[in-house]
Structure 1
Amino acid sequence: MSGRVRSQMKSLLRRHIWQWLTDTADQLGGCSLQVKLIVAYIGVILIPVVVFSLYTFHQLYENTMHDITVQNQYVLDTELAQIHSNMEIMERTAQLAISDRNVLHYLTEEREISSDELVQFNLNVFPNLQHLLYSNPNIENIRLYTNNPQAHEIWPMIFNESRLPKTSWLTTAQHQQGRIWWDIYKGPKSLLQGQAGQENEAVQYMALLREIQASGGRHAGLVETNMRLELFSPRVFGTPPRDYAWQMFILNAEDSIPNGGKLVSSADIATASIQPDPIPIPLSHVHHLLQSRVQGQGGAFDFTYGNKPYLGLYRYIEGLDAYLLNIVALDGPLSDLRHKRNAMLLIICILILLMSVISYTLHALILKQLHTLRESMKRVQQEGDFQLTIPVYGGGEVAELALYFRSLLSRINVLIAEAVQKQAAAQEAELQGLKHQIDSHFLYNTLENLKMMAEMERQYPLSDALTSLGSMMRYNLQWSRPCVALRDEIRHIQHYVAIMNIRHDNQIGLDIRLSSMFMELEMLKMSLQPIVENAIKHGWSTLRRPFLITIEAYSKQDIVELRIQDNGVGISEERKNAIMAGLMHSDMDSYEPGMHGGIGLYNVHRRLSMQYGVGYGIKLDSIPGQSTTVTLVLPRRHITRGEDYDDQAVDCG
């Protein structure tokens, strides 16, 4: 459930960030170019600088935390080694004290000891116990407690067990069956002085207690070795330095500890008065940290208390079943780091602000001509003043743009003048067209009268020739559309061949091999007549045999090839190449028909290329003495036909 909530929160945060970026972009869209440049300038500099600064300070934070952790781990490990060393000394001393057979015999012998045996014990055995005490300066006391009423007390090491205080831990320690029991308690320096009722200074000790067993496992007493707490763990129980920023605790691993459940720290059991703790954390919270954050034999964790950061490091103390905990205040080191970070960010912001002001001023100077150009464009748009002169000064892209705009205005003025001239010419052409239309109607009527006279005189061939001539005139004179259907072009060619056969005694044949699917193919008007005319003029004029022109069409995907083939004299390879080179010539004015071939083929090829694009036009093939084939490469487009006005096709659309 918590993962789903976090996912929803992240999604909501992303939507808010995106919405803010969108709103900011919309607001910047209405600002001037100068403001946009400043914002872009600030963004380009500020974002990398901030990201780099955050990364740098993050690394600095990590390095600082690592140094603090390593330094305090060394202090903690040093203290742990000191505690283990003192525990080993106390264990070895207690073991040596009760391993002497004479000492054990003295404590457990249930008979009255004679004066001679007591003297011998004092002279030969007891000095060994004293040597153990004096050879270990950190050991405060070695005390042997016995419940044997026959044993005599020998100060300051052998005492009757009744002198032990009646505490809860005493019963536990007496039934450990030879195992070691560690405890912290507060007691007098000398049991005898306390017993005598004299004033005795109370001292806090770390004590090792071990049961003394007689033969048969019977309880015979206790051995105690103790050490002052400030010697046992100087950093926990000793007087800390004045400039320390840490505090150590020894905390029992369980809820209850030897000292009646009371947490042990330097603040509780230091013998001398010390300065206030640098770690103002109550012991109950420290105990809570032990239960919730401590895992394993050792480690580290960070936490906050009272809005202040802290670092906790801990080590497990074997034997005591307790943890050595060191809490380090991070407010000082991290506060210095935060001050440095804030100072650096402040310096960055001031520098960016200063650079923004400088950049804004420089942009105002750089964009001055751009503002002038903008005002000039606005004046042209609002007032239509194309005679405006734009000043061009300096260099660079803005000056070049102003120069181009001035050239554009000059070109517009030229185009306006040309448009006026073309409009006047169009009006003149329209008048001439009306005049020609009147003349064409006169010619049509005259041809009709001649046709009627020929039919009345029964001159039917002449009547048919006049009909073909009239159709051709209508087709040529009524040029209102650039595109016609192939059917119309074929009909026009048929009329043309019919007229030519009157002159050449029906020696010219026309074979149309086109299916109905090609008849509605889009064609440029007057594309076939120049080709057929060239075939008759150049391919048949010197022949004595009948002349045949064949028209076929082939479809290849979106392309149609219309082939016009004759059985004439053909052309040589050299002349064919010259004609094809002429067809590829782009300049009509410099084209010389006498050198390359008829201008009719060139006009048809150029019209097809201009109408349909590169790749469309005329291809030429020939077999000398046999045939010549002209192929028109056309797009596969079908024309939409409307009403037919005297064989005139409508526009191809």
Structure 2
Amino acid sequence: MSGRVRSQMKSLLRRHIWQWLTDTADQLGGCSLQVKLIVAYIGVILIPVVVFSLYTFHQLYENTMHDITVQNQYVLDTELAQIHSNMEIMERTAQLAISDRNVLHYLTEEREISSDELVQFNLNVFPNLQHLLYSNPNIENIRLYTNNPQAHEIWPMIFNESRLPKTSWLTTAQHQQGRIWWDIYKGPKSLLQGQAGQENEAVQYMALLREIQASGGRHAGLVETNMRLELFSPRVFGTPPRDYAWQMFILNAEDSIPNGGKLVSSTDIATASIQPDPIPIPLSHVHHLLQSRVQGQGGAFDFTYGNKPYLGLYRYIEGLDAYLLNIVALDGPLSDLRHKRNAMLLIICILILLMSVISYTLHALILKQLHTLRESMKRVQKEGDFQLTIPVYGRGEVAELALYFRSLLSRINVLIAEAVQKQAAAQEAELQGLKHQIDSHFLYNTLENLKMMAEMERQYPLSDALTSLGSMMRYNLQWSRPCVALRDEIRHIQHYVAIMNIRHDNQIGLDIRLSSMFMELEMLKMSLQPIVENAIKHGWSTLRRPFLITIEAYSKQDIVELRIQDNGVGISEERKNAIMAGLMHSDMDSYEPGMHGGIGLYNVHRRLSMQYGVGYGIKLDSIPGQSTTVTLILPRRHITRGEDYDDQAVDCG
């Protein structure tokens, strides 16, 4: 199994576990305490045991894979060492064969060789070639091919180039320019038998080939040393032992397989041939593994084919420009490991189930008193019987809870009696208060009569002042809801300034710079009067010039900033910071106006924060000697529904 596949399976498993836990938690919400205790017990015991078991078997899996890898790497390295040894023997033999001057002279001599020379060559030189062959029993043939018509063939070592098993060797020799190359081919044991057409004697050879060059670099022939494939690489081309679940291949690094794409193994399945029912891996898949998974001089990788796990190990064969690939079947050892793991998990689950049944029975006995207490509580809730007797006694936690519940019922009875008495007393006090209440309409009618008398006496300033005072009284006494429109607050401020101008000889000016879109803005009632009152009291009382109060509004997305600015004496930076610190004070009872600032500003800020939330309230700015600006930060809400400019209109009342 590849690492990528294992990672995907683990990720999928984690998602399924999380979904299962979420669904289980939802279902447990409606279960009894007894069931929840059992589930918690199972979770505390089962989950660690299962996690530990999975971790243990994972370590066993890693150790098993490591042992299999090490064992098969040793087999692979042993085979690679034998291949290198055979290649070295073949190279040395070929080099010795053509390094003999007498042999090279015989192959390149352009004159006709006399019979005496031929006899001397056959008696003195040719035995040396035979000795090379016989001293290396794994080498099947040493063949020298010559294009010299004067050289006679001496079987079975010296032949004319016309007897080459593959004519393509001549073309390859021109490109190699004296360098050796390797080739796998199928040919007869004897070139003479091959000519006779004995196809049944054909065998596969690993051949080392090298061009024989005369003086001046002229082509003089080829030298071939070959070895049977089953001797060159026994584990690749021979029959593997029955107790090994592997199959080796020699695959070319560039063309996937040497010899023009032909299979180099003696079998044409790439699988562990030892399995009772082997699943063959197509040769094309072996090619794909070589091209996609093999990198560098050597390594290992795992893969699956036909739902069966396999391990691939490879080593680079220098000289052949090929890879020695060993594919090992893992189904056997990993299957045993999986069976052991599943058996262990099954045993754990059975034990947990048995202990859960026992725990359920014990919990039922322990929680019996708790069920009795629960039924008593239900009876109190349904019937309202606070004189109920709860038959639960003892020293345990449930008995202690029952004692507290009995005390609670007794306390509730006392509180009910006290509440009835307080309600009766409150009703009596309310009745007495109604008897002494002053009718507000009497005040309005009195002010209206005074206004008419002033007009009859042509005292119009006094009449206007009485009108403003009546409007202010009516506005202050009518609190049907905490929020009003900005238009109402502005009208109230206009009346307030009009009354104050009577005292200050019309020295106070009020400049309202509000567009119609802000006139229906929602705000808390009596939010502006404390600010305007502070401005007149603290900002103008010591001045000798006319006083101007300007009211403006600006919209920023969902926030409206309502600014009340005056041209008074202003306040210092230290004083401003102290006032802002006081506005942030959270305890009204411990708030000291003399230390921080006016209690009116604090009340307005606190009401805005409580009504609209954190971020809303008062912000104070001032330029000493020039002006003071108080900014109300309000949400952009309309006091009534249906206006176009605010799609979130809210009725505060």
Give the TM-score range, shorter chain.
0.5 to 0.7
Seen in structure 2, the aligned counterparts of structure 1 residues 598 and 230 have a Cα distance that, compared at 3 Å, is closer
Counterpart Cα distance in 1 of 2:270 and 2:634 = 110
Report the CA distance between 1:407 and its aligned residue.
3.9
Deviating more after overlay: 593-602 vs 418-427? 593-602
Report the CA distance between 1:114 and its aligned residue.
2.2
Seen in structure 2, the aligned counterparts of structure 1 residues 506 and 203 have a Cα distance that, compared at 3 Å, is closer
Deviating more after overlay: 146-155 vs 606-615? 606-615
Counterpart Cα distance in 1 of 2:5 and 2:252 = 39
Partner of 1:527: 527
Counterpart Cα distance in 2 of 1:166 and 1:160 = 13
Partner of 1:210: 210
TM-score by length of 2: 0.60
Deviating more after overlay: 569-578 vs 433-442? 569-578
Deviating more after overlay: 262-271 vs 156-165? 262-271
Deviating more after overlay: 397-406 vs 533-542? 533-542
| CA shift digits 1:492-538 (9 cap, x unpaired) | 99999999999999999999999999999999999999999999999
Report the CA distance between 1:222 and its aligned residue.
1.2
Report the CA distance between 1:371 and its aligned residue.
0.2
Report the CA distance between 1:175 and its aligned residue.
5.1
CA contact (8 A) 2:638 2:650 kept: no
Seen in structure 2, the aligned counterparts of structure 1 residues 180 and 584 have a Cα distance that, compared at 3 Å, is closer
Report the CA distance between 1:30 and its aligned residue.
2.1
Of the two, which has the highest radius of gyration?
1
Counterpart Cα distance in 2 of 1:133 and 1:86 = 13
Superposition map of 1:407-556 within 5 A: 407-410=407-410
Aligned residue for 2:439, secondary structure, equals helix
Counterpart Cα distance in 2 of 1:186 and 1:631 = 101
Counterpart Cα distance in 2 of 1:99 and 1:595 = 115
| CA shift digits 1:452-511 (9 cap, x unpaired) | 999999999999999999999999999999999999999999999999999999999999
Report the CA distance between 1:105 and its aligned residue.
0.9
Seen in structure 2, the aligned counterparts of structure 1 residues 562 and 403 have a Cα distance that, compared at 3 Å, is farther
CA contact (8 A) 1:94 1:224 kept: yes
Counterpart Cα distance in 1 of 2:621 and 2:147 = 139
Counterpart Cα distance in 1 of 2:310 and 2:620 = 96
Deviating more after overlay: 120-129 vs 588-597? 588-597
Report the CA distance between 1:162 and its aligned residue.
1.9
Coordinate RMSD, CA, aligned: 11.6
Report the CA distance between 1:85 and its aligned residue.
0.7
User: Unaligned regions of 5+ residues in structure 1, if any?
Assistant: none
CA contact (8 A) 1:174 1:222 kept: no
Report the CA distance between 1:273 and its aligned residue.
12
| CA shift digits 1:76-98 (9 cap, x unpaired) | 11111111110000000000111
Seen in structure 2, the aligned counterparts of structure 1 residues 102 and 611 have a Cα distance that, compared at 3 Å, is closer
Deviating more after overlay: 400-409 vs 637-646? 637-646
Deviating more after overlay: 244-253 vs 161-170? 161-170
CA contact (8 A) 1:497 1:510 kept: yes
Report the CA distance between 1:274 and its aligned residue.
10
Aligned residue for 2:258, secondary structure, equals coil
TM-score by length of 1: 0.60
Counterpart Cα distance in 2 of 1:461 and 1:218 = 137
Partner of 2:107: 107
Seen in structure 2, the aligned counterparts of structure 1 residues 179 and 21 have a Cα distance that, compared at 3 Å, is same
Report the CA distance between 1:399 and its aligned residue.
2.2
Seen in structure 2, the aligned counterparts of structure 1 residues 387 and 572 have a Cα distance that, compared at 3 Å, is farther
Deviating more after overlay: 419-428 vs 287-296? 419-428
Seen in structure 2, the aligned counterparts of structure 1 residues 552 and 421 have a Cα distance that, compared at 3 Å, is farther
Report the CA distance between 1:423 and its aligned residue.
10
CA contact (8 A) 2:245 2:274 kept: no
CA contact (8 A) 1:312 1:326 kept: yes
Seen in structure 2, the aligned counterparts of structure 1 residues 379 and 436 have a Cα distance that, compared at 3 Å, is same
CA contact (8 A) 1:204 1:271 kept: no
Counterpart Cα distance in 2 of 1:444 and 1:433 = 21
Report the CA distance between 1:40 and its aligned residue.
2.2
Report the CA distance between 1:280 and its aligned residue.
0.8
Aligned residue for 1:445, secondary structure, equals helix
Report the CA distance between 1:601 and its aligned residue.
36
Seen in structure 2, the aligned counterparts of structure 1 residues 456 and 425 have a Cα distance that, compared at 3 Å, is farther
Aligned residue for 1:548, secondary structure, equals strand
Counterpart Cα distance in 2 of 1:539 and 1:64 = 89
CA contact (8 A) 1:562 1:631 kept: yes
Report the CA distance between 1:313 and its aligned residue.
1.4
Report the CA distance between 1:202 and its aligned residue.
2.0
Partner of 2:560: 560
Report the CA distance between 1:103 and its aligned residue.
1.1
Report the CA distance between 1:370 and its aligned residue.
0.2
| CA shift digits 1:152-178 (9 cap, x unpaired) | 222222222222234434432465321
Q: How many residues align?
A: 653
Report the CA distance between 1:317 and its aligned residue.
0.9
Report the CA distance between 1:433 and its aligned residue.
15
CA contact (8 A) 1:178 1:210 kept: yes
| CA shift digits 1:18-44 (9 cap, x unpaired) | 777555434322221112222222233
Counterpart Cα distance in 2 of 1:213 and 1:17 = 74
| CA shift digits 1:343-393 (9 cap, x unpaired) | 222222222222222221111111111001111222233334344332335
Deviating more after overlay: 424-433 vs 523-532? 523-532
Seen in structure 2, the aligned counterparts of structure 1 residues 119 and 40 have a Cα distance that, compared at 3 Å, is same
Seen in structure 2, the aligned counterparts of structure 1 residues 370 and 134 have a Cα distance that, compared at 3 Å, is same
Deviating more after overlay: 95-104 vs 536-545? 536-545
| CA shift digits 1:232-254 (9 cap, x unpaired) | 00100011111321111111122
Deviating more after overlay: 569-578 vs 98-107? 569-578
Counterpart Cα distance in 1 of 2:627 and 2:107 = 146
Counterpart Cα distance in 1 of 2:304 and 2:646 = 102
Aligned residue for 1:81, secondary structure, equals helix
Deviating more after overlay: 144-153 vs 233-242? 144-153
Deviating more after overlay: 36-45 vs 577-586? 577-586
Report the CA distance between 1:338 and its aligned residue.
1.9
Seen in structure 2, the aligned counterparts of structure 1 residues 484 and 298 have a Cα distance that, compared at 3 Å, is closer
| CA shift digits 1:172-227 (9 cap, x unpaired) | 24653211121111222223444466787222211111111111211111111111
CA contact (8 A) 1:267 1:277 kept: no
Aligned residue for 1:189, secondary structure, equals coil
Seen in structure 2, the aligned counterparts of structure 1 residues 148 and 402 have a Cα distance that, compared at 3 Å, is same
Deviating more after overlay: 403-412 vs 217-226? 403-412
CA contact (8 A) 2:214 2:220 kept: yes
Partner of 2:18: 18
Seen in structure 2, the aligned counterparts of structure 1 residues 141 and 279 have a Cα distance that, compared at 3 Å, is farther
Does residue 178 of structure 1 match 2:178? yes
Report the CA distance between 1:106 and its aligned residue.
1.3
Report the CA distance between 1:228 and its aligned residue.
1.0
Aligned residue for 2:320, secondary structure, equals coil
Report the CA distance between 1:54 and its aligned residue.
3.0
Deviating more after overlay: 121-130 vs 533-542? 533-542
Report the CA distance between 1:450 and its aligned residue.
36
Seen in structure 2, the aligned counterparts of structure 1 residues 354 and 101 have a Cα distance that, compared at 3 Å, is same
